[in-house]
């Protein structure tokens, strides 16, 4: 899986076939603006892909380097940790077939969090992330609904249908 996350911003996680340049490059090109400053781990493919962006710095986990000043990929690693916790506690099994759905759900949860200051036992202030209030989350969902429809598939599942597929007005059109 490839995780693209803006610090303090949204996350996009996409299943990828492997870690080759051929697999990663089209996904990164679609998700990341060319003016971005990439921060990755030491994977060789990222070094080649990073040449197309404003800057690229990496940390070398093999040498036990996880952060160097402001250079780290801990934000993306944090998303991976949330995925692992969800796998253990909620999903129990994540199939390759539906991986993108699991990642989309966790991405939605990530994007709908708000920071909150908390006082630790040692009397230090710490920022924790808490779920956004339900009504704010609902407003966000509705604001992204125009042009999308959910339909039952032939086998009883759910599929997303874009308005362009039917030349119909949006579900919540203006």
3-state SS string for 26-44: HHHHHHCCCCCEEEECCCH
Number of domains in the chain: 1
Give residue 169's pLDDT: 44
Indicate the burial class of 3 (C-beta count within 10 angstroms; 0-12, 13-18, 19 or more): buried
Give residue 148's pLDDT: 73
Give residue 3's pLDDT: 94
Give residue 162's pLDDT: 61
**Per the domain annotation, does 86 fall within a domain?**
yes
Dist CA 166 CA 32 (whole Å): 30
How far is residue 78 from each of residues 41, 49, 75, measured CA to CA in Å? Answer: 14, 23, 5
Indicate the burial class of 21 (C-beta count within 10 angstroms; 0-12, 13-18, 19 or more): middle
Which residues, in sequence order, are bridge partners of residue 130?
Answer: 114
**Per the domain annotation, does 138 fall within a domain?**
no
Give residue 164's pLDDT: 53
Domain span at 90: 2-111
The pairing of strands 55-58 and 37-40 is parallel
**Per the domain annotation, does 153 fall within a domain?**
no
List the chain residues with pLDDT less than 70: 162-174
Residues of the chain with pLDDT > 70: what percent? Answer: 92
Q: What is the pTM of this model?
A: 0.75
**Per the domain annotation, does 121 fall within a domain?**
no
**Per the domain annotation, does 147 fall within a domain?**
no
Give residue 72's pLDDT: 94
**Per the domain annotation, does 136 fall within a domain?**
no
**Per the domain annotation, does 119 fall within a domain?**
no
**Per the domain annotation, does 133 fall within a domain?**
no
Give residue 59's pLDDT: 95
């Amino acid at each position: 899986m490839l995780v693209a996350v803006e610090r303090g911003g949204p996350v996009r996680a996409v299943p990828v076939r492997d870690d080759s340049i051929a697999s990663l490059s089209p996904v990164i090109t679609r998700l990341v603006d060319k003016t971005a400053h990439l921060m990755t781990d030491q994977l060789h493919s990222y070094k080649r892909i990073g040449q197309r962006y404003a800057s690229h710095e990496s940390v070398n986990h093999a040498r036990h380097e996880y952060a160097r000043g402001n250079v780290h990929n801990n934000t993306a690693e944090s998303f991976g940790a949330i995925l692992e916790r969800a796998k253990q506690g909620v999903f129990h099994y994540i199939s390759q077939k539906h991986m993108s759905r699991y990642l989309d759900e966790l991405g939605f949860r990530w994007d709908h969090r708000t920071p909150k200051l908390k006082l630790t036992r040692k009397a230090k202030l710490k920022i924790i992330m808490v779920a956004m209030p339900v009504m704010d989350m609902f407003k966000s969902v509705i604001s992204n609904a125009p042009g999308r429809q959910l339909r039952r598939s032939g086998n009883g599942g759910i599929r997303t249908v874009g308005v362009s597929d039917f030349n119909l007005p949006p579900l919540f059109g203006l």
